[in-house]
A and B are shown apart, each in its own frame.
Chain A
Amino acid sequence: MRQGSHEPISVAFRRGCGRAKWRPLVAVVLAVSTIALVGVSSAHGFADRFGVFYLQEPCCGGDPLEGTGASIEGDALTPDKYFCILFRSDAENSNGTYAIQAGLARCGTNGTLDGTCSLSNNLIKFVEKVVASSFTCYPHGAASLFSEYDTWLADGSGTTWFAYINGTAYESSSFTGNLIDESGEHTSTDSCSGWSGHAVFADDGLWPWQRYVKATRTWTQIQASQHSHGCWTLNGGPPSPFDISH
């Protein structure tokens, strides 16, 4: 879960999001913005523990953000002893008190995620929900490095978000979404050393990073986003695949 609030996405991003005719403009804006954003990640409310590509309302020509999905391939998750590394799709409400995530996680030998996810330094698929600031994790089986997993979250009806991994529906959570992201996280609040991780997102012709609009039941490939690197190194970005590594 992120910490703090986020600045609104620029007009240029709003116009360009999801529309092919704006791609050249978006590419220029993205290149320029990348330089600016990399230096001010803390102003966007993400702690150093996160490496994140995100969209926050208002954006995307006024479309609501009602789903996010991409393929995730974890190539390295080497946490330090007490903490965990996660690569996931994530959706949150406006202040992060409600959220749902789906992805890959591995904790150090003395760490766990919420008490039941990755207790033995094992790599797992997981869904985590945040409801009224309480976290709940559900493990969904062993995962493998260098394998791609399709993770997506969608507000399918009302305000109920469902988490999917490889087409299987798992947990749900009810909230009004405001932000979607594809991200890496190291769960320590204060350490950028002693751990490593690498994942490739959206490197699959079927599963580029997409967002969902419930009213039209459409998934749209994301053309540009904001990002915050924290302790992580970000390479690439929408509409192309991207790497999050440390």
Chain B
Amino acid sequence: MKTRKSTRMKVMVIVAVVGVGLAYFSISDLRSGSASSRSESPNGSRLAYTSKLGHKPRVPAGASISDIISTIFGRYGGKGVISAAEGVPPDVPGLRRGAWLHFIVGVAAKDERVNRPEWESDLIEGAVADALAGSGRAVAGSTIDWKLPDGTILRAMGGGMGDILPGQTFSSATTDAIRAALAGELTKLGLRPLQIGVLHADQPAPAVIAETGDPLAAAAAAAADIRDLFGQDPPKYEGYYFEVRDLSGRPLFIQSASFRSGAGRLWISPTVSNAVTLNHG
């Protein structure tokens, strides 16, 4: 990363050489770098959510990417991802180097119900990225297609990949222990557990659906409750899904995280949007 001073000097030189025509450029110019005065370090500023590094992915040594995806898809334990495979990156300049993943997820409709299956694909992507890192490879991005109940496929509705350090170590507690701990914590927080599942793309990632009789209070406590349940700095698990519903079964808010891919998702019902303590841009 360059400092402002060095950037300015470079800009002055470039402007002197090429004149004032640089207000106009095409996207294709980015391929040659002629339109950018800065460039991204491929690994230098990647983030870790925990200082505990060194986790070894549970994949066979030397496995191909298709074998890695197949292994992780086969064990992760969710129902939302219909298929996971290596995909073709979009034809745009400037993409990071690395593999591209393609997911098809089943969605009930184009509404908040897309969050659960997309989170499941986030977990798979993160686990694949960690597994590939062992052989010096990376995941550059992904594409998520939505499959509606009538069979319609909506292309490229989601996907992405954060710049995350591989090898983060999270909880390896058993499914029973995680369920018991979360059920107890939910009760303390005044929430009634409806479902507590645990996925295993790599390490455990709980998926919690809870119910409240006081939507506004639950919305106001959302950020604190998530910190209590799943941790924040550092997170307890490699990911989580947290959905709170009212007594009629309508979702009030959904937040999910995948700390190996960096994907964080948030949906907030308009009925509690002024009370909820969760942030989006």
> Which of B43-51, B59-67, B167-175, B182-190 sits within the interface?
B43-51
Known: A134-B115, A156-B92. A220 touches B23 (CB 8 A): yes
* Neighbouring B residues of A144 by C-beta, 8 Å: 1
- A19 vs B258: C-alpha distance in the bound complex, in angstroms? 46
Instruction: Check: B179 CB closer than 8 A to any chain A CB.
Output: no
Report A92 CB to chain B, min CB distance, Å. Answer: 11
User: Would you call A131 and B158 a contact (CB within 8 A)?
Assistant: yes
User: Would you call A124 and B3 a contact (CB within 8 A)?
Assistant: no
> Which of A30-38, A56-64, A157-165 sits within the interface?
A157-165
- A190 vs B273: C-alpha distance in the bound complex, in angstroms? 12
Residues of A in contact (CB 8 Å), total 78
User: Would you call A135 and B40 a contact (CB within 8 A)?
Assistant: no
User: Would you call A146 and B3 a contact (CB within 8 A)?
Assistant: yes
Within 8 A of B (CB), among A119-149: 119-120, 122, 124-129, 131-144, 146-149
Q: Which of A119, A125, A138, A167 contacts B36 (CB 8 A)?
A: A167
User: Would you call A139 and B37 a contact (CB within 8 A)?
Assistant: no
Report B260 CB to chain A, min CB distance, Å. Answer: 10
- Map CB proximity to A onto B1-32 as digits: 1 under 8 Å, 0 otherwise: 11110011001101100000011111110100
Known: A219-B25, A221-B23. A147 touches B274 (CB 8 A): no
Q: Which of A101, A126, A148, A220 contacts B24 (CB 8 A)?
A: A220
User: Would you call B281 and A86 a contact (CB within 8 A)?
Assistant: yes
User: Would you call A168 and B94 a contact (CB within 8 A)?
Assistant: yes
Instruction: Check: B217 CB closer than 8 A to any chain A CB.
Output: no
- A140 vs B94: C-alpha distance in the bound complex, in angstroms? 14
User: Would you call B280 and A135 a contact (CB within 8 A)?
Assistant: yes
* Neighbouring A residues of B159 by C-beta, 8 Å: 171-172
- A14 vs B15: C-alpha distance in the bound complex, in angstroms? 29
- A147 vs B6: C-alpha distance in the bound complex, in angstroms? 10
Instruction: Check: A73 CB closer than 8 A to any chain B CB.
Output: yes
| In the complex, residue of chain A having the shortest beta-carbon distance to the beta carbon of B254 | A134
Instruction: Check: B277 CB closer than 8 A to any chain A CB.
Output: yes
User: Would you call B114 and A132 a contact (CB within 8 A)?
Assistant: yes
Known: A128-B280, A138-B161. A115 touches B226 (CB 8 A): yes
| In the complex, residue of chain A having the shortest beta-carbon distance to the beta carbon of B37 | A206
- A125 vs B41: C-alpha distance in the bound complex, in angstroms? 13
Task: Tally the A-B contacts, defined by beta carbons under 8 Å.
Answer: 229
User: Would you call A219 and B40 a contact (CB within 8 A)?
Assistant: no
Report A114 CB to chain B, min CB distance, Å. Answer: 4
User: Would you call B33 and A217 a contact (CB within 8 A)?
Assistant: no
- A48 vs B213: C-alpha distance in the bound complex, in angstroms? 31
* Neighbouring A residues of B14 by C-beta, 8 Å: 205-206
User: Would you call B96 and A168 a contact (CB within 8 A)?
Assistant: yes
User: Would you call B281 and A134 a contact (CB within 8 A)?
Assistant: no
Instruction: Check: B212 CB closer than 8 A to any chain A CB.
Output: no
Instruction: Check: B79 CB closer than 8 A to any chain A CB.
Output: no
Within 8 A of A (CB), among B158-206: 158-164
Known: A114-B264, A134-B267, A139-B162. A101 touches B281 (CB 8 A): yes
* Neighbouring B residues of A82 by C-beta, 8 Å: 223, 277, 279
- A109 vs B224: C-alpha distance in the bound complex, in angstroms? 12
User: Would you call B33 and A1 a contact (CB within 8 A)?
Assistant: no
- A140 vs B255: C-alpha distance in the bound complex, in angstroms? 20
User: Would you call B4 and A147 a contact (CB within 8 A)?
Assistant: yes
* Neighbouring A residues of B237 by C-beta, 8 Å: none
Instruction: Check: B259 CB closer than 8 A to any chain A CB.
Output: yes
User: Would you call B279 and A112 a contact (CB within 8 A)?
Assistant: yes
* Neighbouring B residues of A10 by C-beta, 8 Å: none
User: Would you call A83 and B264 a contact (CB within 8 A)?
Assistant: no
- A240 vs B146: C-alpha distance in the bound complex, in angstroms? 43
Known: A131-B158, A170-B160. 14 other contacts (CB 8 A): A112-B223, A112-B264, A116-B262, A127-B160, A129-B158, A141-B44, A142-B45, A147-B3, A147-B7, A167-B30, A168-B95, A205-B12, A212-B27, A221-B23
Give 27 A-B contacts (CB < 8 Å), ordered by A residue.
A105-B281, A111-B223, A112-B223, A112-B278, A113-B280, A114-B280, A116-B262, A117-B264, A122-B47, A132-B111, A133-B267, A135-B280, A135-B281, A136-B265, A137-B281, A138-B264, A150-B36, A150-B37, A168-B40, A171-B159, A172-B159, A189-B274, A205-B12, A206-B35, A210-B23, A219-B23, A220-B23
Question: Taking beta carbons and an 8 Å cutoff, which residues of B are in contact with A?
Answer: 1-4, 7-8, 11-12, 14-15, 22-28, 30, 33, 35-41, 44-47, 49, 90-96, 110-112, 114-115, 118, 141, 156-164, 223-224, 226-227, 232-233, 235, 254-259, 262-267, 273-274, 277-281
Question: Taking beta carbons and an 8 Å cutoff, which residues of A are in contact with B?
Answer: 1, 73, 82-84, 86, 88, 101, 105, 107, 109-117, 119-120, 122, 124-129, 131-144, 146-150, 154, 156-157, 160, 162, 164-172, 174, 185, 187, 189-190, 204-208, 210, 212, 217-221
